[in-house]
Amino acid sequence: MPFFLSKNNFLERLITIMSETIVLTGDRPTGPLHIGHYFGSLINRRELAKQHRTFIMLADVQALTDNWDNPQKVRDNVYEVLADNLALGLDLDNVTLYIQSQIPQIAELTVFFSNLVTINRLKRNPTVKAEIEQKSEKFGEDGVSLTYGFLGYPVSQAADILSLQSNLIPVGEDQLPMIEQTREIATKFNRIYGEVFELPKELLSTGSRIIGLDGNAKMSKSLNNCIYLRDSAEETIKKLIKAKTDSIEGISYNPEFRPEVSNLVKLYALCSEQSIEAVLPELESMRTGDFKMKLAESMNDYFAEFRAKRAEIFADKAYLQEVLEKGKREALERAEQTMQKVRQAMKIDY
Ligand code: ATP
Ligand code: MG
């Protein structure tokens, strides 16, 4: 039947053509999200979600690859990270928030993909390589205690992306090798079993990198050097007073020579929604302690509304559950559609 005869079919096609871009992004529930996530990825996520159909995955299965011995932490943080995302004010008609482990099709696809990746290729993945070194307390010196699950998490990431047939993946620089590996797997799959997958593209982050309050190169939930989005105004003041700085007089912006102070200047600019050049003149002659108080005030103003909303959402467990139920339904439906094509292509559709 020509499609113009069926109005519904026509509309369906039109919608498919118009909403071609499917964004997949997400967070590892290893801790509540912090202001580094906010300025580095969440603000961009909110803008992207206004333009495209967006899936946000709470990556509990991935979090377990280096937290298998702490399941309660992962479970608790699923709800923290969910509330952090919901407080952004996402339009849930257009955004699906779901828990990775609730979509068994991802695990199924991971198994099939694992045949298409060599162990040597996984060991060469620069991100995984660096992480194995950083996590030596878990995986031993030189990775002697490296697990199959952690080495293989890029395979499971390929399944996250391709199970939903998502094609635009916002990433930081460190995640580029993962997208590369996903494209390799999709290409190999298509060559062996037939065209099923579109190759996904990355959208490289333009967000700001925020260093830790302890001066570490990255504010990170594993390093306990963060201002969390759920922190109160008082906690923020306390943390900023203790933040590492240097003994140079006055405030200036020079990330190479004064990384800690420059990071605080950057945060001040972000929270007062001005450029670094614009804020510098008013800060230059300030004493560090006074500057920290000024920053705390500006940060507390900036996040006041977000925090209030987040607290309200986090307290409403029935609402959180409702969002997760809806997300599960939507992600399951899409993943199952993909798996039917995959099983058919692989001749296992008995
Ligand atoms: P974990 O310790 O579990 O690895 P993390 O705090 O390092 O947690 P991730 O979940 O690894 O956070 O980060 C996910 C994404 O969030 C990064 O790819 C990056 O885009 C953004 N992000 C995280 N930390 C920062 C930061 N300090 N500054 C800017 N962006 C950040
Ligand atoms: Mg990390």
Q: Tell me the pLDDT tens digit for each residue of 230-245.
A: 999 999 999 999 999 9
User: Rounded to the nearest 5°, which phi and psi values hold at 204?
Assistant: -70, 130
Task: Examine the residue annotation and report whether 347 is marked as an active-site residue of this protein.
Answer: no
Give residues (CB < 6 A) around ligand 1: 27-28, 30, 36-37, 40-41, 172, 175, 205, 207, 209-210, 218-222
Position 1 pLDDT exceeds 50: no
Same domain, 116 and 253: no
Catalytic residue (choose from 73, 188, 218, 309): 218
Closest-approaching ligand to the CA atom of 221: 1
Same domain, 99 and 67: yes
Confidence of residue 223 (pLDDT cuts 50, 70, 90): confident
Q: Has this prediction a pTM greater than 0.85?
A: yes
Same domain, 149 and 31: yes
List, for residues 326-344, the tens digit of each pLDDT value: 999 999 999 999 999 999 9
Q: Which domain holds residue 187?
A: 10-209+317-345
List, for residues 96-130, the tens digit of each pLDDT value: 999 999 999 999 999 999 999 999 999 999 999 99
List, for residues 72-91, the tens digit of each pLDDT value: 999 999 999 999 999 999 99
- The Å distance, Cα 37 to ligand 1 centre, comes to 6
- SS3 sequence of 18-81: HCCCEEEEEECCCCCCEHHHHHHHHHHHHHHHHHCEEEEEECHHHHHCCCCCCHHHHHHHHHHH
Nearest Cα neighbor of 157 from 278, 42, 35, 65 is: 65
Q: How many independent structural domains does the chain possess?
A: 2
Query: Rounded to an integer, what distance in angstroms lies between the CA atom of residue 110 and that of residue 154?
Result: 9
Same domain, 184 and 327: yes
- The Å distance, Cα 214 to ligand 2 centre, comes to 17
Query: Rounded to an integer, what distance in angstroms lies between the CA atom of residue 106 and that of residue 119?
Result: 20
Position 269 pLDDT exceeds 90: yes
Same domain, 287 and 325: no
